[in-house]
Amino acid sequence: MAFPTETVYGLGADGLNPEAVARIYTAKGRPSNNPLILHVADIDGARALVASWPPEAQVLAERFWPGPLTMVLAAAPHIPEIVRAGNPTVALRCPAHPVALALIRATGRPLAAPSANRSQGISPSRAEHVVKSLGSRVDLVLDGGPTKAGVESTILDLSRRPFRVLRPGPLAPSLLEALVGPIEVWSGAVADGTVQAAPGMASRHYAPKAHLELLPRPSLLARSQEGGNRVVLVTFGTPLPGSGGGEQRLLPGNAEGAMAALYALLHDLDAAGVDRILMEIPPDGEAWMALRDRLRRAAAKA
């Protein structure tokens, strides 16, 4: 079953049932070295899934749950290995969406729920994206409308010190640091076949079918003249002047708006049969960190 969260749509199954979780991996074509996030309804639900619950986890959960924060902690013994991808840790989140929370409470189980799309593809921010990507591989899609945040949760590893952001998301590291002290930000890529500590760490991910290239704004027009069939230029905030009638798309000029609109735009361009997407490199700054991460991985070579 696919359901909405405030970040993206998730493909859910009973997170304590290995056979049900295996169906998620099969439906997505997801490699077994990529662990899943368990979604819970509250702090008590999370504490039942970990070997220890440090005070920092309590502070962060009280401040940011329900919300787009995933915490990686030492797993309780009963967490299935398939959920953890063999890691000694488990990733936990309490989503801030009434449909997701109602579903978790109705089942009485933690829900394993990666993004509801084929592995490495564009995450779904609308129900129709799920149907387009997974088709008959998903039994049911609960349509909660467009998601609010648009990109996946911030993942913070609390199982090690210093704490480390493994995947940037809607919650900036400085917000977390204000509560728990200094935090590292990991910005690498896990090699193919290597076990990931959390989702979203592979070199290529979130990718459209069209070839995506990130370029400085002054280079976009020149690059668009270098051949290819259908090319679309994407910029933030303002269009390029003097484009000669070429196709352009705009993303909002603020980070929050751009994150919310990104995946829907990429889905639309794929549906339109675009061959190449030339996108302006997002601005520097912490607010844009998650967007830069998603686009860097989306533009990586297959």
48, 42 contact by CB (below 8 A): no
14 CB-near residues (< 8 Å, 6+ apart): 20, 21, 107, 109, 110, 111, 112
Q: Are residues 24 and 134 in the same domain?
A: yes
Q: Is residue 201 part of a domain?
A: no
Q: Is residue 198 part of a domain?
A: no
Q: Is residue 55 part of a domain?
A: yes
Q: Are residues 180 and 216 in the same domain?
A: no
Long-range contact pairs involving 230-234 (C-beta distance under 8 Å, separation at least 24): 230/272, 230/273, 230/274, 230/275, 230/276, 231/274, 231/275, 231/276, 231/277, 231/278, 232/269, 232/274, 232/276, 232/277, 232/278, 233/278, 233/279, 234/265, 234/277, 234/278, 234/279, 234/280
Q: Are residues 10 and 103 in the same domain?
A: yes
Domain that holds residue 258: 211-298
**What is the per-residue pLDDT for 301?**
85
Q: Are residues 171 and 228 in the same domain?
A: no
Q: Are residues 179 and 217 in the same domain?
A: no
CA dist 296 and 290 (Å) reads 10
Tens place of pLDDT for every residue, the chain, 302 residues? 999 999 999 999 999 999 999 999 999 999 999 999 999 999 999 999 999 999 999 999 999 999 999 999 999 999 999 999 999 999 999 999 999 999 999 999 999 999 999 999 999 999 999 999 999 999 999 999 999 999 999 999 999 999 999 999 999 999 999 999 999 999 999 988 899 999 999 999 999 999 999 999 999 988 888 866 789 999 999 999 875 557 899 999 999 999 999 999 999 999 999 999 999 999 999 999 999 999 999 999 87
* pTM assigned to the model: 0.96
**What is the per-residue pLDDT for 265?**
98
Q: Is residue 146 part of a domain?
A: yes
Q: Is residue 282 part of a domain?
A: yes
Q: Is residue 194 part of a domain?
A: no
168, 151 contact by CB (below 8 A): no
DSSP secondary structure letter of residue 91: E
Domain containing 278 — which CATH number?
3.40.50.11030
Q: Are residues 131 and 261 in the same domain?
A: no
Q: Are residues 22 and 171 in the same domain?
A: yes
Q: Are residues 162 and 242 in the same domain?
A: no
Q: Is residue 162 part of a domain?
A: yes
Q: Are residues 144 and 216 in the same domain?
A: no
Domain containing 77 — which CATH number?
3.90.870.10
**What is the per-residue pLDDT for 116?**
98
Q: Are residues 107 and 245 in the same domain?
A: no
Number of domains in the chain: 2
**What is the per-residue pLDDT for 245?**
57
Q: Is residue 190 part of a domain?
A: no
Q: Which one of 134, 151, 185 terminates a domain?
A: 185
Q: Are residues 247 and 114 in the same domain?
A: no
Q: Are residues 288 and 169 in the same domain?
A: no
